[in-house]
Amino acid sequence: MNVSEDLPPVDDEGYLVNPADWDEHLAQLLAWQENIDLGDAHWVAIHFMRDFYQEHQVIPDVRFVTRHLAEHYGVPARNLIFELFPYGYVKQACRIAGMRRPRGWSTG
């Protein structure tokens, strides 16, 4: 599978240049690049991130996503975000959700 042919413009680190280019098919392709099979909990996190970005025009801090997952599933979800995206919130979750790379954040 040659994913790069299906991608809209991305920066040198693979983040979308324009978050408006994102759709669920693209998320699947980006997740495939990260060896992640998107399940229900991934989509709950990703859609929360997209909705938060639409409303506030900023990328949600990982704490907000973790809190949303905990509320959605009714259980403590402190480590869930890192189980879903093992190489980090910024490196994987933000990329798959179509966010730009957050400035000043580490890749973790």
Neighbouring CB atoms inside 10 A of 59's CB total: 23
Residue 7 or 99, more confident: 99
Give pLDDT, residue 5: 58
pLDDT score at 77: 72
CATH value at residue 90: 1.10.10.370
Residue 6 pLDDT grade (very low, low, confident, very high; cuts 50, 70, 90): low
Question: Which DSSP letter does residue 16 get?
Answer: B
Mean pLDDT, to the nearest integer, of 26-36? 94
Question: Which structural domain range is residue 84 located in?
Answer: 15-96
- Is residue 78 situated within a structural domain? yes
Residue 41 forms part of a structural domain: yes
Least confident range from 5-9, 20-24, 61-65, 95-99: namely 5-9
- 2 lies in some domain: no
> Within a domain: residue 43?
yes
Q: Which long-range contacts (CB under 8 A, 24 or more apart) does 62-66 make?
A: 62/89, 62/93, 65/89, 65/93
The answer as to whether 92 is a domain residue is yes
The Cβ of residue 46 has, within 10 Å, a number of other Cβ atoms equal to 24
Residue 72 in any domain: the answer is: yes
Structurally, the chain folds into a number of domains equal to 1
pTM assigned to the model: 0.86
Residues 40-98: tens digit of each pLDDT: 999 999 999 999 999 998 899 999 999 999 999 877 777 888 899 999 888 899 999 99
Handedness of CA 25, 11, 57, 37 (dihedral sign): positive
* pLDDT level of residue 1 (50, 70, 90 thresholds): very low
**Is 7 part of any domain?**
no
Domain membership flag for residue 108:
no
